[in-house]
Amino acid sequence: MTSARDNETLTSVGPGTPMGELMRRYWVPAALSSEVTKDGDPLRLKLLCEDLIAFRDSSGRVGVMDHRCPHRCASLFFGRNEEGGIRCVYHGWKFDVDGNCTDMANVPPHQDFKHKVHAKAYRAEERAGLIWVYMGDQARVPALPDLEVLQLDADAVGIDVFQRECNWLQALEGDIDTSHVDFLHGGTRTVDDFPPDDPRRYGAIHRDPEYTIAETDWGTMYGAHRPADQGRRYWRVAHFLFPFWTMTPAGVFDTYIHARAWVPMDDHHTMGFGLSKKGSRLTAIGNAKQGIALHVEERLPNTTDRFGRWRFAANARNDYRIDRAAQQSQIYSGITGITLQDQAMTESMGEVVDRSLEHLAPSDRMIAVTRRRLLFAAQALQKDAVAPPGADEPGVFHGARGGYYLAPENAEWQDFYKERLTSVRRQASSAAAAE
């Protein structure tokens, strides 16, 4: 059981909170690059409980800063994005992407003090079709995390973005809980729904996997395993990577390159950014009537408010369009789509789940170990200024990949994982060199 005090530490991400300060040691995905255009409309952002704006200046550079003009605190969302900066429409003060005041239009030249005024701005970079923001010490900005998917060409990366109305941690924990897959997503599937050579058939036979858990340089990992035939075991390997990344076992290990960030907008809203190599995503088994399609495409139109982006049309206000008749015969949950099924469960817990009410089982060991790792890291940073995992060494993240495979029954799971990862990367490198 997680105490109320620990739960607050884990879930609160505002400035000055232990978890908020931890997250400010990492780059944060904030928006699609396509959401801001040269000299176009500013974009409202909510990140780690801070109200920000993003804009792209005349030369194509992206600026991310506090939405309040340093003059009289009017919102720069209403500003004019023109000639290399954002100009407040209240009194004409102008700021570049670094927050420097470049013009005090309402102040006589001999009284100008723009060199003393600076808007609160954060370093921004673009990679893989996303705008990334670093909200920590601007004098000590690390490199972007060395996630495998970020090593791909941008046009080879598919992006899925959606908003969830709940705390970041309960959204993330759904990704490191594998046993729910064969209930919530595949409860109506049987072994006959899979080809004979598809190892996922063993999930339909054995819905109660056993787990092995390990702490890693990048966070935590689990191997969920089930008996298979011919002296083998079916493994699903997944990861939590600091501070809010997951790699799920939703695809074939040898080809599935992906990562998902659960970015806290505030304590009650989360933005999911899924990055994956195009063509390597999960191929669903069954059909739409079984409710196991991977993605729900229908979104509400984006609006300009801070929580107006990337929302599903099926949501809590219409009970996620649950079909009770289908629930009785075709769809285990009555809700169509894997992403939406997860959405319904995590949002149904409330904005911030009361973890003191939980009764964790052996199948929740990954969740328990990950919470403990997060708590220890946040406390070590707060008390002793110990950098959290990967914050200053982004290369450690390259050691992680999620997916499923068959392994010899007696193989040591971490050794086999490392050997398999080394082998598939070597093969991929050789194939790329031969092209």
**% of the chain beyond a pLDDT of 90:** 88
User: What are the Cα distances from residue 61, in Å, to 41, 131, 218, 301, 365?
Assistant: 14, 11, 31, 26, 44
Over residues 15-32, the mean pLDDT reads 98
SS3 370: helix
Give the pLDDT confidence score for residue 390 in this predicted structure: 97
Q: Tell me, which fold does domain 27-141 have in CATH?
A: Rieske Iron-sulfur Protein (2.102.10)
Give 39-96 pLDDT, tens digit per residue: 999 999 999 999 999 999 999 999 999 999 999 999 999 999 999 999 999 999 999 9
Over residues 142-153, the mean pLDDT reads 96
Strands across the sheet containing 93-95: 80-82, 85-87, 93-95, 101-104
DSSP string, 27-74: EEEEEEGGGS-BT---EEEEETTEEEEEEE-TTS-EEEEESB-TTT--
pLDDT at 208 over 50: yes
Give 387-397 pLDDT, tens digit per residue: 999 999 999 99
Model pTM score: 0.95
First to last CA, the chain: 53
Over residues 277-288, the mean pLDDT reads 63
CB 366 within 8 A of CB 213: yes
Q: Say how far apart CA 20 and CA 29 lie, in whole Å.
A: 15
Give 168-183 pLDDT, tens digit per residue: 999 999 999 988 998 9
Q: Say how far apart CA 286 and CA 370 lie, in whole Å.
A: 32
Residues sharing a CB contact under 8 Å with residue 401, sequence separation 6 or more, in sequence order:
148, 237, 239, 247, 253, 256, 257, 421
Domain locations along the chain: 27-141, 149-434
CB 106 within 8 A of CB 113: no
Give the pLDDT confidence score for residue 293 in this predicted structure: 52
pLDDT at 282 over 60: no
Residues sharing a CB contact under 8 Å with residue 99, sequence separation 6 or more, in sequence order:
63, 65, 118, 119, 120, 121
In terms of Cβ atoms closer than 10 Å to its own Cβ (0-12, 13-18, 19+), residue 358 is middle
Give the pLDDT confidence score for residue 288 in this predicted structure: 47
pLDDT at 431 over 90: no
